[in-house]
Amino acid sequence: MKNPIYSISSECSGCKVCAEICPKKCISFYEDAEHFAYPRVDESLCIDCRRCVAVCPQKKATFNFVKEAFVGSHSHNEVFKSSSGGAFWALCQILIPLGYVVIGVKWMDGFKVAYDVAFTLDEAQGFRKSKYVLSDTNGIFQKVKNLLKDGKKVLFTGTPCQVAACKNYIGDSDKLFLVDIVCHGAPNQEIFNKEVNYIERKHNGKLESFEFRQKSPINGKVNSRSAKYVVNSKEYYVEINDDPFLRGYYSRLFYRPSCGTCHFARPERVGDVTLADAWGVHDILPDLDELVGVSLLLFNSSKSLLLLPEIRRFMSIRNVDKEWAISTNLQLRVPTRFHEYRCDFFKKIDVIDFEQNVRACTRVSIKMRIRKYLGLTIKKIIGYYKK
Ligand SMILES: Cc1cc2nc3c(=O)[nH]c(=O)nc-3n(C[C@H](O)[C@H](O)[C@H](O)COP(=O)(O)OP(=O)(O)OC[C@H]3O[C@@H](n4cnc5c(N)ncnc54)[C@H](O)[C@@H]3O)c2cc1C
């Protein structure tokens, strides 16, 4: 092959920026047996310009050091419409009135997860809340370039690998504001399609909406690992034990291979701002409820710090030690470790029923239960003697 983008396909994070930059449009995508998309170069058209290699975020990325870290939340109402504390929405409220166009990820027809463009706050509503599926970039990098060429300012949001792709594709621009969303991994669309199919069969009807990180209490408690969906106008609230997708997702069973060696799970960040959940904040600021939603905001560039007074207009935020912030969020330090039965799951992905496959792979053995029980007991004993 004249120009292989990868020697090992599992290095590819699936952002598809290589195909967008190709002057000969000779890069297409094929799905492997796990249903993840990888680039394929048509050698008869390739002119070996290597622009696909130069733009690839897995091969080249520029990072910023965190300058300041904050935790905080938007108003109660907005927090309930957000996964964490509503920091993304505050940025939209600040930047859209200043003429920014927002690029984010939303549910499209048929529960496809893909990038889109929003010119108004109303249009940006669809980007709110995490969709735990690898989004289709959908030609978005060229759209960003066109918007900038037309003199528009752009707020680009996405997983760190997608933000790094955008940064490589566009190059330096004062008019581009990048926000990377901390990510522990994403499954492919086909796995979510199997979830849709499972729900529709279970309730004998059409799935009308699906919401991860729903915040209504279940059995009196908010559970961040729950979802709400609607079938035949009836609402259902599910937790890990009731739903195969949630169970597999939070068990780290079916992420893209590149997520296991993620180059962006590190303290240095690709975005001007990094957004995440402020897990562990309750230990240092007991009045904050991380289950309902507290954002962690990392400010990584001089232009991001200029937004601080504006953010305070919409959110109540407090300065925290950046070392603390990095130490409490695993994805700011190391990539996710996959579930030990990931391979077994994918071997049977199209062979047996989705729910059965997830259940079989995530069943907790007696050995694992004993190990977990011992771990918790040791932690309790250490905690007791520390007091
Ligand atoms: C796949 C995924 C994994 C994540 N893993 C972690 C984690 O391990 N630890 C952690 O602290 N935080 C994680 N997050 C981030 C967290 O869930 C919140 O999205 C983030 O804190 C922003 O929350 P918010 O309340 O400010 O706004 P929200 O309204 O919740 O955030 C919406 C933003 O997320 C973007 N978005 C939604 N779905 C996707 C998607 N599939 N791909 C790319 N962008 C998307 C939207 O475009 C928008 O910019 C993850 C998010 C995603 C999408």
Backbone angles phi, psi at 354, to 5 degrees: -55, -50
Inform me whether the pLDDT recorded for 261 exceeds 80: yes
123-137, 152-166, 208-222, 316-330: which range is least confident on average? 208-222
Read off the tokens for 31.
């799905």
Inform me whether the pLDDT recorded for 4 exceeds 60: yes
The residue whose CA is least distant from atom 34 of ligand 1 is 130
Task: Give the Å distances, CA to CA, from 342 to 253, 345, 349, 383.
Answer: 5, 5, 10, 34
334 CB neighbour count, 10 Å cutoff: 10
Q: Is the CB of 256 under 6 A from ligand 1?
A: no
Inform me whether the pLDDT recorded for 386 exceeds 70: no
Q: Which amino acid is at 308?
A: L
Alpha carbon of 181 to ligand 1 centroid (Å): 5
Mean pLDDT for the chain?
Answer: 95
Tens of pLDDT, residue by residue over 42-99, are 999 999 999 999 999 999 999 999 999 999 999 999 999 999 999 999 999 999 999 9
Read off the tokens for 319.
């300065």
Q: Would you identify the CATH topology of the domain 9-55?
A: Alpha-Beta Plaits (3.30.70)
d(CA 52, CA 160): 18
Q: Where are the domains of the chain?
A: 9-55, 63-382
Closest CA to 186 of 160, 150, 167, 168: 160
Inform me whether the pLDDT recorded for 277 exceeds 60: yes
Alpha carbon of 275 to ligand 1 centroid (Å): 8
Ligand 1 atom nearest residue 157's Cα: 49
Q: Which residues is 238 bridged to in the sheet?
A: 227
pLDDT at 174: 96
pLDDT at 177: 98
